[in-house]
Amino acid sequence: MDIVWLAAIAALWAGMVALVYALAAMERPNGGRP
Its pTM stands at 0.56
List, in sequence order, the alpha helices (H) in 1-34.
Answer: 3-27
- Quick: pLDDT tens for 1-34: 799 999 999 999 999 999 999 888 877 666 555 6
| Angstrom distance (rounded) from CA 4 to CA 26 | 33
Q: Identify the pLDDT of residue 16.
A: 95
Look at the chain and report how many structural domains it folds into: 1
Asked whether residue 33 is assigned to any structural domain, the reply reads no
Asked whether residue 34 is assigned to any structural domain, the reply reads no
Asked whether residue 16 is assigned to any structural domain, the reply reads yes
Q: From 29, 11, 33, select the one nearest 21 (Cα to Cα).
A: 33
| Angstrom distance (rounded) from CA 23 to CA 32 | 9
Asked whether residue 15 is assigned to any structural domain, the reply reads yes
CB 32 within 8 A of CB 24: yes
Asked whether residue 18 is assigned to any structural domain, the reply reads yes
Domain range for 13 is 1-28
Asked whether residue 3 is assigned to any structural domain, the reply reads yes
